[in-house]
Structure 1
Amino acid sequence: MDHPRTPPPSLHGQDRPGRHTARRLTQLLLGLTGYGAAVMVLVTAGLGPASWNVLTEGTAGHLGVSFGWATNLIALLVLLAWIPLRERPGLGTLLNVLLVGLAADATATVLPAPHGALAPYAYLAVGLLALAFSDALYLGARYGPGPRDGLMTGLVRLTGRPVAVVRTAIEVTVTGVGWLLGGTVGAGTLVVALGMGPLVGCFLPRLTVPSPPA
């Protein structure tokens, strides 16, 4: 579940229980399921999905599995890469692996294909907004990063390179591998890459659950 920006460090780890627990759990579940649904909207638009979804699409076609199962498989493999990076998973990390792919598959069963010249662009716009909102909703719950975000922060810490350099390297790598596996790359891939950061930056301060007092 990953985007071209880095949430503040306080959003990367678990937080101790407090009076906001019910809200945090609700945000976490809604954010993760909404993220999976938004991913499938972008894929259905047919204009090119986000970079990690290019890899997912290529993996799904190469292995002959559903998009959701490929999403979960990639998330699990990336999570294993946390071990040498010494990243610590949280509840949000584990539920990310389980729920995003399931939500994407469930959405695929009910989402109609876009019809008409403008429909794919409407899908792209709605999918991007929903993706950014859901991402901020899930991150704002403060239950730990998704597997892909943890990979990025771990590599930043390990290499000492700037976040922009590490994020760009990851995005280019997964897009290239996904394309080689048969994934779709298009204008939508660029739109999502450029739009996610500003949108999440707008939503996140408004959706982050306050930390309990020390």
Structure 2
Amino acid sequence: MQKKFNVLPKTSWSASSIWALESKPFGVLVISLAILGIGEGLILLSDLGSAPWTVLSQGVSIQGGFSVGWASFMISCLVMLLWLPLKLRVGLGTLLNILVIALFLGLTAAFMPKPTALLSRYLYLIVGILLFGIGSAFYLTCHQGAGPRDGLMVGLCQRFRLKVGMVRTTMEVSVCVLGFLLGGKLGIGTLLFAISIGWVVQGTLLLLLNWPHSLHKRNRLY
């Protein structure tokens, strides 16, 4: 019998179950998602291009004649349908992913000064991508479920024994191209996000795998 391929390392803050309300996993989960939301807010403020999934939402909204918000919601639902053959489950992290990221994205966009100088805009973009990737890795290692896109990434990695960086980059670039073909607007920030975010997540997971808090170091994906 083939041994299960572990994509995400077990850490001292990993929850005992997908819906468990435990102080340490819950704290790490919320803080990680907040960091992710701040990162997304900085990317938005940089005004150098939307994230690839937003570009896809723009394209779908143009073709369908409805709002970007509705397009994003429908895309998320379709992505979660792809979870079924991958045997993924909704958890506490899935719900908090929606609430916490939206909250901190909004707070960051509202209270952080919007940069005007090109260098400052690129700084926001780069820091935003790093925070987005690091926050993603930490919340996923809580093992309490993922957001629609992260869940698809993890599921594909587990099913086909592939690297996180390769799978996430393929997903983001594909979404980028599809969104552009449907009429969405690309920017340099969109392209930088698409080609780098997967490797930031993978690099952070690799560090966590070798962290003293890691509870296992076998079945490496990285």
Query: Does TM-score exceed 0.5, indicating one fold?
Result: yes
Provide the identity percentage.
38
Cα distance in 2 for partners of 1:52, 1:59 equals: 10
User: Structure 2 vs 1, CA of residues 135 and 155 (structure 1 numbering), >3 Å: closer, same or farther?
Assistant: closer
Match of 2:220 in 1: none
Provide the aligned C-alpha RMSD in A. Answer: 3.6
Contact 1:51 1:174 in 2 (8 A): yes
Secondary structure (helix, strand or coil) at the match of 1:143 reads coil
Contact 1:72 1:97 in 2 (8 A): no
Cα distance in 1 for partners of 2:115, 2:66 equals: 26
Match of 2:117 in 1: 116
Match of 1:40 in 2: 41
Contact 1:38 1:128 in 2 (8 A): yes
Is 1:97 the counterpart of 2:95? The answer is no
Q: How far off is 1:115 after superposition?
A: 0.9
Contact 1:82 1:151 in 2 (8 A): yes
Is 1:140 the counterpart of 2:141? The answer is yes
Pairing of 1:125-136 with structure 2 (within 5 A):
125-136=126-137
Pairing of 1:1-214 with structure 2 (within 5 A):
8-10=7-9, 15-16=15-16, 21-56=22-57, 58=59, 63-64=66-67, 74-155=75-156, 160=160, 162=162, 167-204=168-205, 205-206=207-208, 210=214
C-alpha distance after superposition, 1:58-86 (max 9, x if no partner): 567763356xx765554344223323443
Q: Letter of the 1:27 partner, please give it.
A: V
Cα distance in 1 for partners of 2:187, 2:119 equals: 16
Q: Letter of the 2:22 partner, please give it.
A: T
Cα distance in 2 for partners of 1:190, 1:144 equals: 27
Q: Note the residue ranges of structure 1 that are not aligned, 5 or more in a row.
A: 1-6
Q: Report runs of 4+ in structure 1 exceeding 4 Å deviation.
A: 56-62, 69-73, 155-158, 160-169, 206-212
Q: How far off is 1:121 after superposition?
A: 0.8
User: Structure 2 vs 1, CA of residues 55 and 111 (structure 1 numbering), >3 Å: closer, same or farther?
Assistant: farther
- Count of residue correspondences: 199
Q: Letter of the 2:136 partner, please give it.
A: D
Cα distance in 2 for partners of 1:26, 1:86 equals: 27
Q: How far off is 1:201 after superposition?
A: 3.9
Q: Looking at CA atoms only, which structure, 1 or 2, has the larger radius of gyration?
A: 2
Q: How far off is 1:46 after superposition?
A: 2.1
Cα distance in 1 for partners of 2:120, 2:80 equals: 36
Q: Letter of the 2:128 partner, please give it.
A: G
Q: Note the residue ranges of structure 2 that are not aligned, 5 or more in a row.
A: 1-5, 217-222
C-alpha distance after superposition, 1:80-100 (max 9, x if no partner): 332344322222122213332
TM-score, with length taken from structure 2? 0.68
C-alpha distance after superposition, 1:121-169 (max 9, x if no partner): 11112212221221222123222232112223444566x5855775454
User: Structure 2 vs 1, CA of residues 58 and 201 (structure 1 numbering), >3 Å: closer, same or farther?
Assistant: same
Contact 1:76 1:97 in 2 (8 A): no
TM-score, with length taken from structure 1? 0.70
Secondary structure (helix, strand or coil) at the match of 1:53 reads helix
